[in-house]
Amino acid sequence: MLRPEKKSVATLFVSRKTWLHKLHPFNKLAYILLTGVVVYLGPAEWYVKAILIVLNLGLAIRGEVFKATWRLVWRTLLPLAFFMIVIHGLLYPENRTILISFYGVHFCQEGFLFALNILLQLTAVLTASLIFVLCTHPTDLITAISQAGFPQSLAYLVGSPMLLLPMMRARIRTIQDAQRSRGLDSEGSFKKRFLALFPLVAPLVLGSLVEIEQRSIALEIRGFSTTGPKTSFRTLSDTKWQQLLRWAMLSVSMLIIIYRIWK
Amino acid sequence: MPALEVSHLTFTYPTATRPSLTNLSFTVEAGELVAVVGANNSGKSTLCYALSGVVPNFYRGRYAGSVVAGEMNTTGYTISELAQKVGLVMQIPANQLSGVRYTVFEEVAFGLENLGVSRSEITERVTAVLAVTGLSNLGDRSPYQLSGGQQQKLALAAVLAMSPSILVLDEPTTFLDPEGALKVFDILLELKQQGKTIIIAEQRLEWVAEYADRVIVLANGELVLSGTPEEVLISNIIKEIGLEWMPYTRTAELANQMGLWESDRPLPSTFAATVTGFSNPEG
């Protein structure tokens, strides 16, 4: 049988043959939910979040996506961490204990710890989400949604943005090349790059709107709206154990939510 | 019974002031390869949409007359239902990709999945159309990694997989180099030999001359001429509607004025006829 090649050109997905890749997409989604519920509604202690982060990084190693996870986490969180630590360290309303004082500006412990806590929460959810994105083929997600009995249009709505990304990239490159050939300078300083965005965005948006119409026709002529039963060429493994695991994660999530509401 | 029957078809897009198609009537027999030629905005694409049911099922303008494919009147069926009878290949192949399939193989399988075809039959049919379109070795490639020509073949393969008996192609060679265009036409010829009915909107008259059984000429949405390529492509109407005669025809006409082409010999529409005309002036 034909298999997708190793390197994904379309999405962040990294093609590997690990058990994490084979796991049903809904299980990975349930894990994101559980992680989010635990870090935001579960025990407030920092080490709970730290344990989850370590667990997620361990999963990333098992899924052979650790490098990609690490790279994306840093790229996403480093600028965020810088601003959050500075802003909360200086402006957090409960700031009392001064750690650093510089010309009358006080950087305080309470704000610093508050920012760290938020960063831990974000890291835990981000790493769980990255495991999902890096180890789940978009087509598997679409197939899972369809096979679960949801409307085909919902599956398309969820899955298509991930797979249409390369086409958008190609279009952006074409527009950039066209604008550059007409003398638009999109290299150099931040200001120049920022100003070069406007001639890029307008044709991109208008082109995409036209394309929506064409794509709708393309889907129709491929039988997208037929009402009869549909089949799937891709097969997803969804064993009893996987289903049990999924329901366990969903149940724990619900219990935590109910506990928090009741409490 | 004709494979396709168009009767007094008139269509105006919702926001347009004048019709894109006006009182078109013609038939296409099963196994025929009919080319539709015309200048830009002559109504070729709209006709392709009308033959496949996109007009009036998707573009709901002012519609009169009828298009009957086999026994299916296009107004009585959805586009998806008609797709199993009439396959449409659009002008820009990238826009015909589903956007939700990761490999060429799965992209071709997409339509069959929607029709509820079994997994084993999907494998069989997709493998067969990939072989016909010369994409067998690209089955595991991402559709977005393909060249324009390969994407055009993929669009054709995706439609063929659904086994329509009628194929409608809207300028399928627009983005192809001559070699790519030749490959597409060779595939069409093979499909014609298998019994498919093919209607192709095309501006490259040299391909039309070589491959079409019959040519329909549109101008401002009206059918102005119909006949064999030999009759139509050397007609003055071709020049009047904004198209050019082919270089062969122009050369022979010039030769005729210079007394180098026999006046009673018809002007040629193909390279072979031109060579014959010049090499055998008496014949």
Q: Tell me, what CATH number does B221's domain have?
A: 3.40.50.300
Judge residue A182's burial from the number of C-beta atoms within 10 Å of its C-beta, 0-12 exposed, 13-18 middle, 19 or more buried: exposed
- Whether residue B256 is contained in a domain is answered as yes
Q: Which of B13, B82, B102, B127 should be substituted to probe chain A, the one whose Cβ sees the most A Cβ atoms within 10 Å?
A: B102
Touching check for A174 and chain B: CB below 8 Å? no
Is residue B3 in a domain? yes
Number of Cβ within a 10 Å radius of residue B14: 8
**What is the pLDDT at residue B101?**
84
Distance from CA of A231 to the nearest CA of B (A): 5
- Domain annotation covers residue B118: yes
In this structure, the answer to whether residues B198 and B62 fall within a common structural domain is yes
Q: Residue B196 class from Cβ within 10 Å (0-12 exposed, 13-18 middle, 19+ buried)?
A: buried
Q: How many CA atoms lie within 13 A of A234 on its CB side?
A: 27
- Asked if the structure places residue B7 within a domain, the reply is yes
CB contact under 8 A, B100 and A156: yes
**Position B43 in a domain:** yes
Helix, strand, coil percentages in chain A from 3-state DSSP, rounded to 5: 70, 5, 25
Give me the torsion for CA of B61, B67, B72, B75, rounded to 10°: 10
Identify the residue among A156, A219, A233 best suited for mutation to test binding to B, counting B beta carbons within 10 A and taking the highest. Answer: A233
Query: ipTM value of the model?
Result: 0.87
Distance from CA of B48 to the nearest CA of A (A): 12
- DSSP assigned state of A99: E
* Rounded Cα–Cα distance for residues B2 and A147 (Å): 41
> pLDDT-based confidence at A245, cuts 50/70/90?
very high
Given an 8 Å threshold on Cβ–Cβ distance, is B115 in contact with A223? yes
Establish if B90 belongs to a structural domain: no
Domain boundary, last residue among B163, B193, B211: B163
CB atoms within 10 A of CB A156: 20
Collect all residues with Cβ–Cβ distance below 8 Å to A23 and sequence separation of at least 6.
A135, A242
Could you say which of A167, A218, A232 has the minimum Cβ distance to residue B90?
A218
A218 contacts on B by Cβ (under 8 Å): 90, 95-98
Q: What is the DSSP string of chain B?
A: --SEEEEEEEEE-TT-SS-SEEEEEEEE-TT-EEEEE-STTSSHHHHHHHHHTHHHHTS--EEEEEEEETTEEGGGS-HHHHTTTEEEE-S-GGGGS-SS-SSHHHHHHHHHHHTT--HHHHHHHHHHHHHHTT-GGGTTS-GGGS-HHHHHHHHHHHHHTT--SEEEEESTTTT--HHHHHHHHHHHHHHHHTT-EEEEE-S-HHHHHHH-SEEEEEETTEEEEEE-HHHHTTSHHHHHTT----HHHHHHHHHHHTT-S-TTSPPPSSHHHHHHHHH-TT-
CA-based nearest distance B88→chain A, Å: 7
A6-30 pLDDT, tens per residue?
Answer: 444 556 888 888 999 999 999 999 9
Residue A201, SS3 per DSSP: helix
The closest CB to that of A10, out of B52, B90, B102, belongs to B102
Report DSSP state, residue A18. Answer: -
Burial class of residue A197, CB neighbours in 10 A (0-12, 13-18, 19+): exposed
Among A185, A239, A111, A223, CA closest to B87: A223
User: Is residue B58 located within the same domain as residue B122?
Assistant: no
Q: Which residue of B has its CA nearest to A226?
A: B80
| Nearest-angstrom CA–CA distance, A46 and A213 | 50
C-beta separation of B31 from B53 below 8 A: no
Residue A7's pLDDT is what?
44
Q: Are residues B67 and B187 in the same domain?
A: yes
The rounded distance, in Å, linking the Cα atoms of A25 and A13 is: 13
pLDDT tens-digit series, residues A151-169: 888 888 887 777 677 677 7
Q: Are residues B139 and B111 in the same domain?
A: yes
**pLDDT class for A99, splitting at 50, 70, 90?**
very high
The pLDDT, as a whole number, for residue B283 is 54
Domain ranges in chain A? 19-148+237-262, 164-220
Q: Which residues of B touch A226 (CB under 8 A)?
A: 78, 80-81, 114-116
A221 vs B83, B101, B106: nearest CB: B83
At residue A105, the 3 state secondary structure works out as strand
- B187 and B263: one domain? no
- Say what the pTM is: 0.80
CA Rg value for chain B: 20
Cα separation values, A133 from A28, A167, A246, Å: 9, 19, 18
Which percentage of chain A shows pLDDT scores above 90? Answer: 54
Mean pLDDT (whole number) for A72-100: 93
What part of A 22-51 touches B (C-beta under 8 Å)?
none
Tens digit of pLDDT per residue, chain B (283 long)?
899 999 999 999 998 999 999 999 999 999 999 999 999 999 999 999 999 999 999 999 999 999 999 889 999 999 999 999 999 999 888 888 887 888 899 999 999 999 999 999 999 999 999 998 999 999 999 888 888 889 999 999 999 999 999 999 999 888 788 888 888 899 999 999 999 999 999 988 988 999 999 999 999 999 999 999 999 999 999 999 988 898 889 999 999 999 888 888 889 988 888 888 888 765 5
Please check whether residue B140 lies inside any domain of the structure.
yes
- B151/B108 Cα distance (integer angstroms): 11
Q: Is A100 on the interface with B (CB under 8 A)?
A: no
pLDDT band for position A5 (50/70/90)?
A: very low
B192 in the same domain as B138: no
Residue A101 DSSP SS3:
strand
Same domain flag for B130 and B67? no
Which residue from B minimizes the CA distance to A212? B95
Asked if A2's CB is within 8 angstroms of B100's CB, the reply is: no
**In this complex, which of A142, A211, A233 lies closest to B109 when CB atoms are compared?**
A233
Same domain (yes/no): B192, B152:
no
Whether residue A140 contacts residue A234, with contact meaning beta carbons closer than 8 Å, is answered with yes
Residues B241-260 as b/e (b if ≥16 CB within 10 A, e otherwise) read bebebbebbebbeebeeeee
The more confident residue out of B17 and A149 is B17
Nearest residue in B to A157, CA atom: B100
Nearest to B92 among A214, A221, A226 (CB): A214
B65 & B117 share domain: no
A 187-226 residues with CB < 8 A to B:
211, 214-226
Q: Do B102 and A228 touch (CB under 8 A)?
A: no
Residues B196 and B276 in one domain: no
pLDDT digits (tens, 9 = 90+) for A214-236: 888 999 999 988 888 888 888 88
Domain stop point among B163, B190, B205: B163
pLDDT score at A10: 53
Is the Cβ pair A219, B98 closer than 8 Å? yes
Write the residue in B106, B114, B158 that is nearest to A139 by C-beta. B106
Distance CA A81, CA A107 (A): 15
Residue of A nearest to B168 (CA): A221
Contact call for B100 and A218, based on CB within 8 A: no
Contact B118, B135 (CB under 8 A): no
Q: How big is the A-B interface in CB pairs under 8 Å?
A: 134
Of B217, B189, B166, B219, the C-alpha closest to B52 is B166
| Number of alpha carbons in the 13 Å side-chain half-sphere of residue B200 | 31
Q: Are residues B100 and B147 in the same domain?
A: yes
Residue A104, chain B, CB below 8 Å: the answer is no
Number of structural domains, chain B? 3
Contact A139 B81 (CB under 8 A): no
Q: Are residues B12 and B138 in the same domain?
A: no
Q: What is the pLDDT of residue A204?
A: 82
**Parent domain of B30:** 1-85+165-242
Cβ within 8 Å of residue A123, ≥6 positions away: A49, A53, A73, A77
Q: How many helices (H) and strands (E) does chain A have?
A: 11, 2
